[in-house]
Amino acid sequence: MIHTGFSVSTGELPGGDGPSEDRIHQAPGAVVVLDGVSTVSDDEPRGGWYAQTLGEHLAARLSEEPDTDLRHLLETALAGMVHDHGLVPGASPAATVSIVRHRGDRIDTLVLADSPVVAFLTSGQVHQVRDDRLARLVADRPERAAYRAALRSGQGFQNPEHRALLQQLRTHQLLHINRDVPGGYWVAEAIPEAARHAVVRSWPAADVADILLMTDGASSSVEDYGLYSTWEEMARACRTQGPGHVVRFIHEAEARDPDGRRWPRSKRHDDKALAHLRLIPVAEQDS
């Protein structure tokens, strides 16, 4: 009988001088990637604490309940966070969540908010599992167009108007976070029911060769910068040079665009987390 396991390699890099708010957690047969989001006021606790604590909850549940539906597993983990720490919707830090789990002869994945999973099948197909609701919400906002135009004109990230425009964009987002309204989007925060809106997918394990999980600081290398022309090229770099090299490569490219003229974005560097899962066929002999 043939089963499939996976090896995991990771790369992480903070965007600034402080610690990263991205986290990668592992459990037997599972990997979790989270991108912590702090509150607007920057009060404690921070997004990094939230991502770390939620990741610990998820890793424990993945170990204890390896066959539980991933949406239900995330919902119970979020409920535990609210109960244990008294988190309040709208005043709580938050996090994106991506999970990949090997379960029997299946590979399951869950994505909540903008930390995509990309699976590379043995057939050569590439399957993206992504949650683009937030991206769609802000895509046509005038604040986004204004800060991008200002960066292209050379005003830089330190311009007071840049932060003001980002704050206005964030205020608009808060009207739609974890709400079942037109333009609403869902993220791990203080409403456990958000987990029910996660994007899920599953494949036969024998059909999968590689999987990438990443925060948007890493996915920007393909989606925004074109540093890798395809997801396959990024996966190949992970196989040959490792995810640590990949995140450093992205960071160095951003450093060569210090004012955001070439690639308008919210800040010079974002935190980056990238996990590369390589599926390994394992022959299991009857004892």
Two tokens, residue 269: 């560097």
Residue-level pLDDT at 33: 98
* Angstrom distance (rounded) from CA 217 to CA 124: 26
Amino acid at 284: E
DSSP letter string over 192-242? GGGGGG-EEEEEEGGGEEEEEEE-HHHHHHHHTS-SSSSHHHHHHHHHHT-
- Work out the average pLDDT over 228-248: 98
| pTM for this model (two decimals) | 0.94
Query: Where is pLDDT greater, at 285 or 201?
Result: 201
Strands 30-37 and 22-27: antiparallel
Percent of the chain's residues with pLDDT above 70: 94
The CATH architecture of the domain made up of 2-131+186-216+271-283 is 4-Layer Sandwich (3.60)
Two tokens, residue 133: 């609701």
CA end-to-end distance (rounded Å), the chain: 12
Residue-level pLDDT at 45: 75
> Is residue 12 predicted with pLDDT exceeding 50?
yes
C-alpha 204: how far from chain center: 23
> Is residue 15 predicted with pLDDT exceeding 60?
yes
Q: What is the mean pLDDT of the chain?
A: 94
Two tokens, residue 57: 């909850």
Residue-level pLDDT at 280: 84
Asked if 250 contacts 227 with a C-beta cutoff of 8 angstroms, the reply is: yes
Give the model confidence (pLDDT) of 171-230 as tens digits.
999 999 999 999 999 999 999 999 999 999 999 999 999 999 999 999 999 999 999 999
The β-bridge partners of 19 are none
Two tokens, residue 199: 């994007």
